[in-house]
Amino acid sequence: MKEDAYEMYASIFKALAHPKRIMIVELLSKYGELCVCSIAQKLNIDQPSVSKHLNILKNAGIVRSEKKGLTVNYKLQTPCILNSLKCAANIIKEDLKGKFSLSTEIDFEIDEQKIREGD
């Protein structure tokens, strides 16, 4: 694959590299189409911040805008982006499972040590 293609991949992941932008993608997947004011209200952040986040997502090809009267509505350009978020969720679950398993073993070892000290 050419270097340019890797740059394009990276730009998509960079666009998603902010919690608010992931929340916006999640909202758009749930509601289908929302205006900036609705997104701002649902996320409890100001409209200029929402606009900046949407612009980044739009430049990456993740969302698109549609003017309807005086408002501009946004929707997912590529709903398949949700597959990436599902994959990320699986990575998080596996990572936590591994960390939880390790913490359980550590706790168990500590308990055994206390038992030995009591003997």
The answer to whether residues 65 and 98 belong to one domain is no
The string of pLDDT tens digits covering residues 98-109 is: 777 655 555 555
The answer to whether residues 89 and 72 belong to one domain is no
CB count within 10 Å of CB 80 equals 8
The residue written with tokens 């986040």 in the block is 53
Can you give the pTM of this predicted structure?
0.79
State the total domains in the chain: 2
Which pair of tokens denotes residue 28?
């758009």
77 within 8 A of 64, measured Cβ to Cβ: yes
The answer to whether residues 29 and 56 belong to one domain is yes
The answer to whether residues 68 and 86 belong to one domain is no
Q: Domain range for residue 119?
A: 80-119
The string of pLDDT tens digits covering residues 31-78 is: 999 999 999 999 999 999 999 999 999 999 999 999 988 999 999 999
By the 10 Å C-beta count (0-12 exposed, 13-18 middle, 19+ buried), 17 is classed as exposed
The answer to whether residues 66 and 106 belong to one domain is no
The answer to whether residues 39 and 95 belong to one domain is no
Q: The domain that contains 61 carries what CATH number?
A: 1.10.10.10
Q: Give the pLDDT of residue 119.
A: 47
